[in-house]
């Protein structure tokens, strides 16, 4: 099982990658890449929340 810190770090990485994809998709007028970035960013936010919950629960 991943630690809370690992989940938070991986979540942050996914948020950043998603933001980059979203921006590149906007700049290149590529709606598929933009949508992919939004999804990855949302997954990153969710993974960060899992890390916060694990920290509160002491895992």
Per-residue pLDDT, 1: 66
What's the pLDDT at 59?
Answer: 73
Q: How far apart are CA 23 and CA 17, in angstroms?
A: 10
Q: Please give the pLDDT value at position 3.
A: 87
**Predicted local distance difference test score (pLDDT) of residue 25:** 97
Short-list 5, 17, 25, CA closest to 42: 17
**Every domain of the chain and the residues it spans:** 4-57
Query: Within the chain, which residues score under 70 in pLDDT?
Result: 1
- Check residue 27 and give its pLDDT: 97
- Against a cut of 0.85, is the pTM above it? no
Q: How far apart are CA 14 and CA 53, in angstroms?
A: 18
């Amino acid at each position: 099982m991943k630690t809370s810190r690992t989940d938070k770090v991986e979540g942050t990485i996914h948020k950043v990658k998603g933001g980059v994809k979203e921006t590149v998709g906007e700049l290149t007028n590529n709606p598929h890449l933009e949508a992919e970035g939004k999804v990855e960013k949302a997954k990153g936010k969710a993974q960060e929340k899992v890390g916060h919950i694990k920290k509160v629960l002491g895992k």
